[in-house]
Every structure is written in structure tokens, then in C-alpha cells.
Amino acid sequence: ILKTLNSWFWWENIWMPINCTWADFVDRDGLVFPKPHQLYATIPYAFVLLVIRFFSERYVAIPLAKALGIKNVRRVKPQPNPVLESYFRECSRHPSQSDIKGLAKKCNCTVHLVEKWFRRRRNLEIPTVLQKFKEAFWRFSFYLTSSIVGFIFLYDKPWFYDIWQTWVGYPFQTLLPSQYWYYMAEIGFYWSLIFTLGIDIRRKASDFMAHVVHHLAAIGLMSGSWCGNYVRLGTLVIFVHDTADFWLEAAKMFNYARWEKTCNMLFIIFAIAFFITRMILLPFWILRATLYQPTYYSTTPVIAYFLFNGMLLTLQGLHLYWGYLIFKILKRFVFLK
């Protein structure tokens, strides 16, 4: 069954134009092609990024937070109590008054002590400002580095200025070393975000699901574009996404430090960058190149055409959702100060 599924998955008609086979993607005559098995390396790269995150948060983010006036608040832990802990995890974090009385009898203590225990236990679930700052700092560091490195990798490439060049010579376009490392770092980063979803700052259910969908769609899109050698378009998609995100993380950092004017200025810059990159460049520049331009090179679109455009449209749907939230914040900022 696995062999059959594997043969179906790697069927040439899914990934490449007619009259092309996987044998055509063997390195030759100076041409180097991306290979699916190279994607396995993104998992160890993700753990390397987690190690870098640990040291950068500990030795850069924490001293920076202290310099900005953010204190490490130590919360008082409640006394260990298996009965109350079980109720907290399995039933409710906010027990009713009758339940509190029942728990007090069960634990042979006063109602006041039970209320105090639940209050302290709930406080432990709330992330401290320092925790939020460290997470924002890590994302800011990666997105800023990725944006700078991406610009260095792309600024001298013809497809950075002329989107039609992404299809010239396809599918026999050689893989550049810069494209390899750009992809490995980005996919590894999104794997690392998935690995830490359980320990990162807890979000609302809707935001949590949006992040999960976004990370999985990003990994699927980059991995698929790697296998089909859509690397030129893929690097443009990555660059367009990262150039807005570090402004948001910078705004968060100064928000946690209560630098209101700096935070407001950075958030406005982020909003402008977001709407330019996600609402203009992505749909009218990149999606045009993925939906419309391939018809000039092939009269019969491959199955990957629909898969990749489906994932890109999924990301665009998330951008519309987040754009709506950003617009609401800007509206409150302008009219309600």
C-alpha cells in the first residue's frame, strides 16, 4: 500500500509539464536541481534554530528587556494539591461557589484557601510580559534577518524585477546555493514554530487555529514548490511575507515595554507594509504569475498548478482575516485614541 501511495504521489503528471520525467531532473551540464529527499534536513535545521532561539532569548532578549524596563515578575505557586489540580485541568478553571464548597470539604480546608489556590493557579497560566517579549524578540530577529538576507539573495536576480522571468526555462532551472539555504532556513523555522506551539504563549482558539493552518500551509507550499522546482516563485513568496512581519514583532516588543509612541509608529509602519505586501503584491503580482502566466507556457496545467494555487489562496484568505483585524485596530487607534 505504501509503495502504491508513493508511486501515486510522485507521478510525473502531478508535478511537471507533459513529456518531462524525474530522470530529466538528474544534475548534469552545470544544472543542479532541488531533490525531495533534501527536505528531510529541515527537521534537524529546526532543532538548530530552537537552540539558537534558546541562547538568543537568554543572553540577548532578557538583558534587552531589562534595559527597556521590563521586570521579571515571579508569581507565587499554589501548594501542591492533586484534587484541586485534577479539577482545574479536567473540569473548570473558574469553579462555581457550590463547587468550591464541595472541594473545600473534600480537601478538608476553608473556602477561602480553595479560592486562593484557584486564583494563584490561574495566574500561572497567564504568560508574563517577559515571556511575551522573548517570543516577540525571537520572531523579530528571524524575520528581520530573513528579510535582509532575502533581499541580498534576490536583488540582482532578473525575476525580482520581471515576474515573467520566473517561468523562463522552466522546469530546467538550476538551483542556486542561496536558494537552497533560504528554503532550508524558512521551512526549518516553521517546523520549529509547530514544535513549540504547546509551550509558546497561549492564544485564543481562533488565533491558534489560524496559526496552525498558516504554518502547515507555509510548510506544504514551500515543500511542494521545492519538489516541483518552483523555487524562483517560492523565494519571492517568502520575501513578500517576511518583510512585513518584523515590524509587527518590533511593535509588540515596545508595547510590552510601554513605549507607546514608538509602538504606535511601528504598528502604523507594519500596517502599511502588510497592506502593500499581502493585499497588493501577493494577489496582483505573485498570484497573477501563478494563476495566469503558466497558461502561456502550457495549455494543459499539471495537478500541482491547482494544489499550489489552492494553498496560496488559503494563505490569502488568512491575510484577509488578519487584514480585517488590523483594520479594526487602526480604526480604534484613529477614532478612539
In this predicted model, what pLDDT tens digit does every residue of 39-57 receive, in sequence order?
999 999 999 999 999 999 9
Q: CA nearest 129: which of 252, 295, 270, 280?
A: 252
Interatomic CA distance for residues 147 and 189, integer angstroms: 14
**Mean pLDDT of the 306-310 span:** 85
Architecture, CATH, for domain 82-125: Orthogonal Bundle (1.10)
Could you tell me which residues are beta bridge partners of residue 28? 31
Domain ranges in the chain?
Answer: 25-68+128-336, 82-125
Q: What is the pTM of this model?
A: 0.83
Q: What one-character-per-residue DSSP string does 124-176 give?
A: HHSPPHHHHHHHHHHHHHHHHHHHHHHHHHHTTSGGGT-GGGGTTTTT--PPP
Specify burial of residue 273 (Cβ count, 10 A radius: 0-12, 13-18, 19+): middle
In this predicted model, what pLDDT tens digit does every residue of 261-300 receive, in sequence order?
999 999 999 999 999 999 999 999 999 888 888 877 665 6
Is it true that the peptide bond before 171 is cis, omega within 30 degrees of 0? yes
Interatomic CA distance for residues 290 and 302, integer angstroms: 12
